[in-house]
Structure 1
Amino acid sequence: MSFFERVVDWVVALMDVIGAPGVGAAILLENVFPPIPSELVLPLAGFAAQQQKFGVVEALVWATAGSLAGAWLLYGLGRAFGAERLARIADRIPLTEAGDVHRAVAWFDRHGAKAIFLGRLVPGVRSLISIPAGIDRMNPLTFTGFTLLGSAIWNTLLIGAGYLLGTRWFLVEEYIGVVSKVVYVILVGLAVFVLWYLIRRQRRAAHAAAGVGQDEDD
């Protein structure tokens, strides 16, 4: 049995046992355990609603509640870790420095609300975006509001698609899976760029230090 089939069986069993709250529980786990994809759970919930196992609005409410609970859990982890501790770790890691963390936090201060809202609509990012919000200690009300808004839109689109597609609900996961792969490629590209930038910065710093040393010898 494939991973896809095991997840489907588990979600179906969960919804059969506890109904719509099972959708919320599955989405909560999806936030902290990404291998359980919301693009699989939510369309399946829409199909279950079409089969009148529970109401579509009920599914949406529980899914959004699960999204918020999972987001708050990751936000709490980021907040507990904190920017200062992360900065101290960055100082010990080759190529990075505390200033990198402070610049990232400053960026999140300026664009955090938009990042939270848009991040909740991007596969592969929607869960993890809560961690930098916690590190930045974003205003809890702002975090909650934009998380709810982004999550409600995402959940509505996927549950609605599953409801309309019926027995073909699995097509949603197939199409969004393509988007997820594109996002992962972009993220890998960004990681490579950041690594290149850090190596280049370190080499420049080494050349500058060598130049200063030569000037002092002269």
Structure 2
Amino acid sequence: MASPRPSPGTTRGARVWDVPIRLFHWLLVALLGFSWWSGEQHLMDWHRLSGLTILALLLFRLYWGLVGSPTARFARFVRGPHAVLAYVRGQDATRAPGHNPLGGWSVVAMLVTLCAMVGAGLFAVDVDGLESGPLADYVSFDQGRLAAEIHGWVFNALLALVAVHVVAIVFYLVRGKNLTAQMITGRSQLPDPRPGAIDDHQAWLWKAVLGAAGAAAIAIAVARGFRF
């Protein structure tokens, strides 16, 4: 007689993050580091390519926040001031998987900052007018210079947000919640309450492919300055 198989709920944590979200997160981390390095080294062709790839990632994330898996949707984790205050006071009884009410707004702040940085970079022009973003032809030289300055200012703001993000990760790690591991494996340390359930990302695969194709098409159009 065969021995009973162990319950999936006791061997695997609950699924929290789907594959598209995890790919977005780690690609963004890598590309931000590369963008900083290429900018410091004045490798502007690579810097522009990296920025355009980040643009495609952001477009995909905005799309995925509307149609993606439950924990990826803005409607799931962007909550009002009352919910945020309740969480800060330890009075939030929902404990839904994914971003908490405070973390949800940090995600919004990060995405808005990234969009502002990339958007400014598209119109930026250097001091000599030799290097510029793909949409710089649509603005004057002075406006392009202002866009370049905004690009730098917003990057500094982004560094501050990243620092807060890292502090939050360390804070939760000390409290026994490894957020980095969750973003790698897609699962929490808590048992899966749905033994035998199909991984969520399979149900959203076709939407992810469609969104990635659309985001890439828009980024390519921007790279061409909308000239075909």
* TM surpasses 0.5: no
Structure 1 length normalisation: TM-score? 0.31
Greater relative contact order (Cα < 8 A, sep 6+) = 2
Higher gyration radius (CA): 1
Structure 2 length normalisation: TM-score? 0.30
Q: Which has the higher helix share?
A: 1
